[in-house]
Amino acid sequence: MAVSPRVFPPRKRWPSTGSSISPKFADLNLVKSLLSLSQEISALKPLQCLLIQKSLSTINKSKLLAIVFEELLRNPVSTSFSPSILLCFEEMYIVFQRIKTLMEDCCNGSKMWLLMRIQPLANSFHELTLELSTLLNIFPVNELDLSQDVEELFVLVRKHCSQSKTSVDPREDSLRRDVLALLHQIKKEIVPHHLKLKQILDNLGLRDQSSCREEIECLQDEIQNQIDEKSKLDIASLIGLLRYAKCVLFGSSTTQLEPDHRRRNSLSDIAVPADFRCPISLELMRDPVVVASGQTYDRESINQWIESGHNTCPKTGQTLAHTNLIPNRALRNLLAMWCRQQRVPFETVGSNEKVSGVKATKAAFEATKMTVYFLVNKLSVSPSMEAANAVTYELQALAKTDSDSRACIAEAGAIPVLVRYLGSGVGSEHPNLQVNVVTTILNLSILEANKTRIMETDGALNGVIDVLRFGATWEAKGNAAATIFSLSGVHAYRKRLGRKTRVIKGLIDLAKDGPTNSKRDAIVTILNLAGDRETVGRLVEGGVIETVIGVINVLPEEAVTILEAVVKRGGLVAIAAAYNSIKKLGVILREGSDTARESAAASLVTICRKGGLEVVAELAAVPSIERIIWEVMGTGTMRARRKAAVLLRILRRWSAGLDTNDVVDISVMSEGRLTTMLSA
C-alpha cells in the first residue's frame, strides 16, 4: 500500500551534541552563514514567563557577535583565513545551530512541560554558553583587522560567556514544585484549592479559556514527541490538571478556537484514504486485523460478520480456513500517524490505551473525575440554556478524548441529565445546545459499556431518534445517525434499532435530503443495519433502493455497497426495486473505484440471476457493456474479476437464448482456476 510521506508529521526534539553538522563552506561564505544564523537568533523573542533571563542573554550575545561578523564582511583581511580561525568558525556554526534549535523548541512548546524540564533546559543554555566561551577564548582575534570598538565587543561577549551560571531562577523552581504538589494532591483525591490553581496559571500566562485550550493542545502534541514512557505519563497528568483548572477557573465556554494548525478536525470533514477504510463499515479502521484470506478489516466489523454465522471473507467470498484475527500493526501505525497529521482523535474502540501507548496515570484519572463531576453537577443545576450549552460543549469535547473520560462521564450520571435537552423544543430555541448534547452522547457511545447505558436510560434512544427525524440542524441529524450507527455495533441492539420504523424513516430521509456529510452518516448507518435480513425488508419498504440510486453519483462507494447488501438479502422485492439501478451500476463498473466496481459487479450478478431475462436485457443494453466487463476481469480486484466473469457468462447465455439461472457463481473460485478460465 503506497502512502505519501506527508502522513509522517515532523517531530520536535531537544538539541543534542550531534544535532548539527559542520558546514562545508569556506572563508567568507562561512562568515556569511554565521552572520545569518546569529541574526536569526537575534530576531527571536525572549521566552515568556520561564527562562526569561537565559533566553534574553543568549539573544543579546548573538546580536553582539553579529556585529563582529558584519565587520569581517565589510573589511575582509584576505580572501582566506588561517586553519585555526576556520576551525573556530566551523565550531561556532554548530553551536549557533544548537542554540537556535533550543530557543525555537522552548518558544513553540508547552509552557507546563517547559516548567517541568526547567533544570535540564537551564543546563542546556549553560552548556551551550560555555562551549561558545571556550571557542571565543581560543579564537585568534589578533589575526583579524577589527576596529577597536568591535574588538571590545568581542572581549565583552567572551567575558559574559565565561560568567554563565547553571542555576535556575528560584521563582521558577518554586512554581515547578507547586505544580508537582498539586498533582500529588489530586492523586490522593484531594480537590486543589482554586486560588492556588489560579496563581500557577497566572505565572504561566494562562489567564483565559483560549490560552488553556492552546496549552492542552501543545501538551497533546508533546506526548507524540516523546520516546520515554515516564515523560508521556507526566504529560498525561499535566493535561488532566489543566482540563480541571480550565473548567473550574474560567467556567464553560462555547467559544471555538480560531482555525489554525492546532485545531482538531472531525472525520466527516476529511477525505479518508480508501486503504484506511474498513471494507465492511466503510469507516476509518481503529483496530485493523487480517483474516485467513489475507484481507484486512476493522476488528469490530469482522467480529460481527463472523458472529452472525458467516465463514467466508466478505471481500473475496473465499471460505475462511480459520477465524483467527491477526493484528495488522503496520497499518495501525500508519493510521495513527495519519490521524495525528489530520488532527483527529485515534483510539482503539473499547480500550483505555491510546495509540501513543499512554495509559492514564492516577493523577490524570482523578483529575478527569474531578472535571467530570464538576461539569455534570453544574449541568444538573444550570439556571439557563446558555449555561447548559456551555457545559455540554465542554462535556462533548472531554468525551472525545479517551475511554477513561467517556467512562467517568457516564458513571457520573451525565446521560439522564443530557436527555433533558434532546427535545425538539430545545432544538428550535437553542440549536447549538441540541448539537452539543447529541454529539456528547455520540462520543460516549464509542465505549462499549456506554452503549448499554444509553439504550437502557429512559428517553435516551427516543431522544436521539427525535433529533434524527426533527433535529434543528443537519449537523444534529448527522450526529444522531452516527450515534445509531455506534449503538448498532452491538448485534442485539442492531436488530432492535432495525425494527423501529422511525429509525428507518429518519435515516432514509437524511440520506435523501441532507448535505454530503450527513448523507454519508445516514448511509453508513443504513449499511450497518442492513446486516440483518429482517431489517433489509423494512429498508426496501422504506425506499432505500430509490434513495441509494439518488445519491450514487455523490457517494458511489457507499451507495453501491448498500445496494449489494440489500439486493443480496432483500429477495425479489428488492431485485424489482433495483431494476432502475442497472444502468447506473454499469457506469460505476466503468468509472468507479476498485471497491465500487467490486460491489457493482456483485450487485449486478445478484440482480441478473434472480431478476430474470428482462433484467439481463436491460444490462445488455448498456453501451459497450462486454468491453467494460472484460476490463474489470483484467484490472479489478480478485473478487471483482470473479463476479465480472459470472456477468459475462450470464450475458452470453442470454444472447444464446439459454437460461441464465443455470450460471454457476464462480465468486469462490481459486485464482488459478479463474486465470485458466479467462485465458481459455
Q: Indicate whether 368 belongs to any domain.
A: no
Q: Is the dihedral of CA 581, 584, 590, 596 positive or negative?
A: negative
User: How is residue 653 written as a grid cell?
Assistant: 447465455
Q: Indicate whether 610 belongs to any domain.
A: no
User: How is residue 476 written as a grid cell?
Assistant: 444534529
Q: Is pLDDT of 340 > 70?
A: no
Instruction: Look at residue 281 in the predicted model and tell me its pLDDT.
Output: 77
394 and 494, same domain (yes or no): yes
| Three-class HEC string of 332-371 | HHHHHHHHHHHCCCCECCCCCCECCCCCCCHHHHHHHHHH
The overall average pLDDT reported for the chain is 82
Q: Is pLDDT of 7 > 70?
A: no
Query: For 126, how many CA atoms within 13 A lie in the half-sphere containing its CB?
Result: 12
pLDDT digits (tens, 9 = 90+) for 371-412: 999 999 999 887 788 888 989 999 998 998 888 899 999 999
Indicate the SS3 state at residue 319: strand
One-letter amino acid at 605 equals V
In angstroms, what is the C-alpha Rg of the chain? 32
Range of lowest pLDDT (20-29, 69-78, 337-346):
20-29
Instruction: Look at residue 678 in the predicted model and tell me its pLDDT.
Output: 40
Q: Is pLDDT of 666 > 80?
A: no
Instruction: Look at residue 202 in the predicted model and tell me its pLDDT.
Output: 92
347 bridge partner residues: 354
Q: Indicate whether 579 belongs to any domain.
A: no
Q: Is pLDDT of 148 > 80?
A: yes
277 bridge partner residues: 284
Q: Is pLDDT of 484 > 90?
A: yes
pLDDT digits (tens, 9 = 90+) for 214-244: 898 888 888 877 778 888 889 889 999 999 9
Dist. CA 218–CA 105, nearest whole Å: 12
pLDDT, greater one: 260 or 416? 416
Dist. CA 113–CA 231, nearest whole Å: 9
Indicate the SS3 state at residue 279: coil
308 and 384, same domain (yes or no): no
Give the list of residues 6+ apart from residue 308 with CB closer than 8 angstroms, or none.
491, 531
Choose the final residue of a domain: 184, 216, 251: 251
Q: Indicate whether 598 belongs to any domain.
A: no
Give the list of residues 6+ apart from residue 388 with CB closer than 8 angstroms, or none.
379, 382, 421, 433
389 and 490, same domain (yes or no): yes
385 and 502, same domain (yes or no): yes
Q: Is pLDDT of 63 > 70?
A: yes
118 and 187, same domain (yes or no): no
Instruction: Look at residue 566 in the predicted model and tell me its pLDDT.
Output: 86
Instruction: Look at residue 23 in the predicted model and tell me its pLDDT.
Output: 58
The side-by-side arrangement of strands in the sheet containing 326-327 is: 296-298, 288-290, 326-327
141 and 242, same domain (yes or no): no
Q: How confident is the model at residue 352 (pLDDT cuts 50, 70, 90)?
A: very low
50 and 108, same domain (yes or no): yes
Choose the final residue of a domain: 326, 342, 358: 342
530 and 385, same domain (yes or no): yes
User: How is residue 218 written as a grid cell?
Assistant: 501543545
- Closest listed residue to residue 560, CA positions, set 609, 532, 512, 527: 527
pLDDT digits (tens, 9 = 90+) for 599-632: 889 889 888 888 888 888 888 888 888 999 999 8
Instruction: Look at residue 1 in the predicted model and tell me its pLDDT.
Output: 33
Q: Is pLDDT of 261 > 50?
A: no
Which of 437-451, 570-584, 646-660 has the highest mean predicted lDDT (pLDDT)? 437-451
What is each CA distance from 275 to 7, 268, 335, 598, in whole angstroms? 13, 17, 10, 15
Q: Indicate whether 585 belongs to any domain.
A: no
What is each CA distance from 434 to 136, 293, 475, 508, 521, in whole angstroms? 66, 45, 10, 21, 17
Q: Is pLDDT of 348 > 70?
A: no
385 and 497, same domain (yes or no): yes
For position 323, which CATH number holds? 3.30.40.10
Q: Is pLDDT of 679 > 70?
A: no
Q: Is pLDDT of 54 > 80?
A: yes
42 and 75, same domain (yes or no): yes
Contact in structure between 129 and 162 (CB atoms under 8 Å): no
Q: Is pLDDT of 468 > 90?
A: yes
Give the list of residues 6+ apart from residue 566 with CB closer than 8 angstroms, or none.
530, 536, 539, 540, 544, 545, 548, 574, 578
For position 517, which CATH number holds? 1.25.10.10
Q: Indicate whether 237 belongs to any domain.
A: yes
Please count the structural domains in the chain: 4
Q: Which residues span the domain enclosing 305?
A: 274-342
pLDDT digits (tens, 9 = 90+) for 121-135: 999 999 999 999 899
Q: What is the DSSP string of 451-499?
A: HHHHHHSTTHHHHHHHHHHH-SSHHHHHHHHHHHHHHTTSHHHHHHHHT
177 and 98, same domain (yes or no): no
User: How is residue 275 written as a grid cell?
Assistant: 486503504
Q: Indicate whether 498 belongs to any domain.
A: yes
Choose the final residue of a domain: 168, 201, 226: 168
Q: Indicate whether 607 belongs to any domain.
A: no
Instruction: Look at residue 419 in the predicted model and tell me its pLDDT.
Output: 92
pTM assigned to the model: 0.71
Q: Is pLDDT of 499 > 60?
A: yes
324 and 188, same domain (yes or no): no
pLDDT, mean of residues 10-34: 59
